[in-house]
Structure 1
Amino acid sequence: MNKKIELRMLKQDTLDDLKFHFDDLSYLYKKENTVERMNFFKENSIGTNIYMDVPDLDFGEDFKESDLANAKLVYESLKNISQLMASDFRVWSYLCATVFYDYVYHRFTNDPTNQKKFATMSEDDLVKKFIVPFSYKTANGLSRSLETNYISRLWIVGHVCEKNGDYSLLNTFKALPGKVTQMRVFFNNKNLAQIILETLLDFCDKEQGRDYADRPTFELCFKQANIISSSRAIDLIPEDVLKKDIYDMMLSSSK
């Protein structure tokens, strides 16, 4: 049976400290500082009176598969939080530093794109890089927190792909990290995001040589949806009409 705990969120001034003075606090993220880290984040957070089951995440290093499995697990664990709370980065920074610390540490340091860079780093230097997966900003300093945080991005994908308990749409998110950014405009409209993903699956099923796991095809689908939304009230377009419009635009752009 999974452990049930109260969901907590950081105090705003603590989140601001992480955002602007992460290097000064990065020592907390060293593995040997578990007790100090847990005490710090407990003292600098507040309870929400919402309870969650702590999932046993998949630590497999075939991340195309384990990311999708974990998206479902994280969303199932936190499916009852509101979208307002899901957009509050105080929640995700707390969870990354406490409940999901071991997973985030593992996922970040074992990512093939990071391993060569980190191989010769001291742990003091390594933990300073944790601002991207654990905290508030991308590597170049721009705030795209919900897409880069290693737990919130799992929740977003699980939320968008879940349909009456079915998660078959998750298959469109191999490999997950880059694709989350592509559909960022549609985070808050689950129904619309699902229409677009279903169109992607339909397109790849009917058009030879197209793979829904292929990132360029994924990007093409959301690009066409963005073009439509720039000139029309996309959420008011009937579902069958919208699917046909996106499909036809993808087909035309592919020729």
Structure 2
Amino acid sequence: MKLKCLIVEDEPIAQDILKSYLDKIDFAEVAAQMNNAIEAFNFLKINSVDLLFLDIKMPQMTGIELLKALPHKPKVVITSAYRDYAIDAFDLDVIDYLLKPYSFERFRKAVNKALHDAPLTDNSIISKTAAQDKSFFFVKGNKQLHKIYMDEITFIESQRDYLKFTLVDNQEIMTRQTLGYYEQFLPAEKFIRIHRSFIVAADKIKTAEANRILIANRYLPVGRNYKLYVLEFLKTLSGQVNSLQK
């Protein structure tokens, strides 16, 4: 079964990028493409989709106004060149906010959030104990399967062909896998990629500066391409403007 996606974007080039990205994902398909929110509102009154990719600044009706007008919303991913609307968007329960220009890897992460169940591979089994609401997964390393609870992860570091999980007890677990693989499964409201080599647990961050964060008594770099996203993520968590941006 494929995710039925609706693209609402007034820029033809941005529409084409979204369409080309979705064409690369085998569990998603484009149900329709529209260049204004009014047309999308009329479409959604009589049609259902699983996932809506929505620009914000559009003539006549903005993306935010569309979300407020819809009585029943599909899952929504905002695609915008403006970071100023992120908090308003998350208040309307969007699942992600893509700041233009965004990479295919970042886009794929947003689409994966729309799935109820993540696919499994022989390297990782993700599970959840319903009674305790405590998520965990297994990683394969040193000819063993290691059980890792998500709330015990401090950060994950890419080291060439390996990943290193650093946990709250300073335990370190190595496994062969890519950072992007685990990025698509980790809860987006709890984990954030700050660099091409690092994903960190938001609740373990001690301080944040312009180009680095302090976590587990170690300073980790904030990559140039991730800086704005990290800023918006922390603003959403705190509701305050902080000093990540110079």
TM-score (norm 2): 0.28
Give the TM-score normalised by structure 1. 0.27
Which structure is higher in strand share?
A: 2
